[in-house]
């Protein structure tokens, strides 16, 4: 994604959203989970990354079609000693990013353990995306794309390769998971109204629900536009031809004068 587009997104972080989703990022230590997240939230590579301690949190709002989705992202430590801590964070996650390092075979072979944990501890509708990280190091590759893809298919998870260094495909896994979750919301399998599902409605979605159609949105924005036009009119009235046509001004009622100028302006 080009950076300009990202910039505009970043400034809109505080805006409304339709859904809020909780993700958890898991995988062996050193597979680049924090870097992947960092690239996703900051759009830059995180140099000299240390091992994550416990769990860390970040968030970002993404756009998927017409929907704005706020992602609350929980980055976990891959080290064994934090296992007992990180396991508690699976609860209430709607999506899981299962990250391995394509240049490290061990990080791939241990995946099933992570997946088992995730399936056991998280909600039954957990959407998993397998991410082969460090795709830029193709010459050091120890896990073939086809093999990982097969594993993903066998275990019913999505799969893609990404690079936190170059930023290739960094957004894709997050969006992929979001799309799957949206689909299961649409199919009714997942109910954002219920606590602990890992998904909830944002204010925007609520408004949409109550107002029967999206027209209310349109009308809302229209009133705002009217406001700005009004402001313009007042400006012209003060600075405009008051002095040039004083008699006409006084004889005409104010509103018709305004409409006259509206025409003039048009």
Partner 1 sequence: MERKLAQGSHQFLEALGEVDQKLEELQRHVAAMHASCDEAETQLKLTNEASAMLLERAGSLSEERQEVENKKSIVTLFLNRFTLNEEEVEAMTSRDVPIGQRFFQAMDKTERIRTDCRVLMAGRGWTNASRYRLDIMASTSSNLEQGYEKIFRWCSYEFRQMGRDMQVEVEDTMREAIPIRSEALTVLSQVRQATLMSSFLTALTRGGPSGLPRPIELHAHDPMRYVGDMLAWVHQAIAAEREFLESLFGLQADGRMVGSVRKFHEKSEEEDWIRELMDLAVGKLCVPLKIRVQQTIRSQESSIISYKIANLLQFYMITMRRTIGEAAVLSTTLNEITEVAYKAFYDAIETQGRALLRATLDLDDPSLAPPLAILDHAQILREVMNVYESSLLGDEGEEEQTAGFRRILDVTVDPAVEFFTSNSEEKKRLRPRWDREVYVLNCLSYLQSVLEPFPFTTQKLNTLQQVVDTKVLHLTEEHSKNIMADAGIQLIAETCEKHDGSEPMSRIPVTLPAQLQTALRNFSLWLSGLEVVQSPRLSQLTAQRLHIKIHQAALERMARSYQLICEQVKKPENKYEAASTLLGSERPFGQVNLLWQIFGLEGDSSKNQ
Per-residue binding letters, 139-178, with partner 1 (x by CB under 8 A): ----------------------------------------
Nearest approach, Cβ of residue 147 and partner 1 (Å): 31
| Residue with tokens 């009308």, as numbered in its chain | 219
The nearer residue to partner 1, 153 or 234, going by C-beta atoms, is 234
Q: Which stretch binds partner 1 (CB under 8 A): 90-98, 111-119, 135-143, 209-217?
A: 90-98
> Does the protein bind partner 1 through residue 70 (CB under 8 A)?
yes
The nearer residue to partner 1, 34 or 107, going by C-beta atoms, is 34
What the block records as the tokens of 76 is 């976990």
DSSP string, 238-262: HHSTTTTSHHHHHHS-HHHHHHHHH
Q: What backbone torsions phi and psi does residue 19 show, to the nearest 5 degrees?
A: -135, 150
Distance of CA 168 to the CA centre of its chain: 17
Contact with partner 1 (CB under 8 A): which of 41, 103, 163, 164?
41
- Binders of partner 1 among residues 172 to 231 (CB under 8 A) are 191, 194-197, 200-204, 223-224, 227
> Does the protein bind partner 1 through residue 105 (CB under 8 A)?
no
DSSP string, 24-68: EEE-STTSSHHHHHHHHHHSS--TTPPPP-SEEEEEEEEEETTEE
DSSP string, 215-238: HHHHHHHHHHHHHHHHHHHHHHHH
> Does the protein bind partner 1 through residue 88 (CB under 8 A)?
yes
> Does the protein bind partner 1 through residue 258 (CB under 8 A)?
no
Q: Classify 22 as helix, strand or coil.
A: strand
Q: Determine if residue 32 is left, alpha or beta; phi over 0 gives left, psi from -120 to 50 gives alpha, anything else beta.
A: left
- Contact residues for partner 1 (CB under 8 A)? 13-14, 16-17, 20, 22, 41-42, 51-59, 70, 72, 74-75, 80-81, 84-85, 87-92, 121-124, 191, 194-197, 200-204, 223-224, 227, 238, 242, 246, 250
């Amino acid at each position: 994604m080009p950076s300009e587009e990202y910039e505009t997104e970043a400034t809109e972080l505080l805006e409304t959203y339709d859904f809020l989703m909780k993700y958890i990022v898991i995988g062996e230590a050193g597979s680049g989970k924090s870097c992947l997240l960092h690239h996703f939230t900051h759009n830059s590579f995180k140099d000299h990354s240390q091992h994550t301690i416990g769990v860390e949190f970040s968030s970002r709002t993404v756009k998927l079609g017409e929907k704005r989705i706020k992602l609350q992202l929980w980055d976990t430590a891959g080290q064994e000693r934090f296992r007992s801590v990180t396991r508690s964070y699976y609860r209430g996650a709607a999506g899981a990013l299962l990250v391995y390092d394509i240049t490290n075979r061990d990080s791939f072979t241990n995946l099933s353990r992570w997946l088992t944990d995730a399936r056991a501890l998280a909600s039954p509708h957990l959407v998993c995306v397998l991410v082969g990280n460090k795709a830029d190091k193709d010459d050091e590759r120890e896990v073939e794309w086809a093999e990982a893809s097969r594993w993903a298919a066998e275990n019913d998870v999505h799969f893609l390769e990404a690079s936190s260094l170059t930023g290739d495909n960094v957004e894709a896994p997050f969006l992929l998971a979001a799309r799957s979750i949206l689909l299961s919301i649409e199919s009714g399998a997942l109910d954002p109204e219920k606590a602990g599902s890992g998904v909830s409605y944002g204010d925007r979605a609520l408004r949409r629900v109550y107002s029967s159609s999206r027209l209310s949105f349109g009308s809302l924005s229209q009133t705002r536009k009217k406001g700005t036009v009004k402001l313009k009119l007042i400006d012209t009235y003060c600075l405009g031809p008051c002095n040039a046509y004083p008699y006409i001004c006084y004889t005409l009622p104010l509103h018709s004068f305004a409409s006259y100028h509206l025409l003039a302006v048009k």
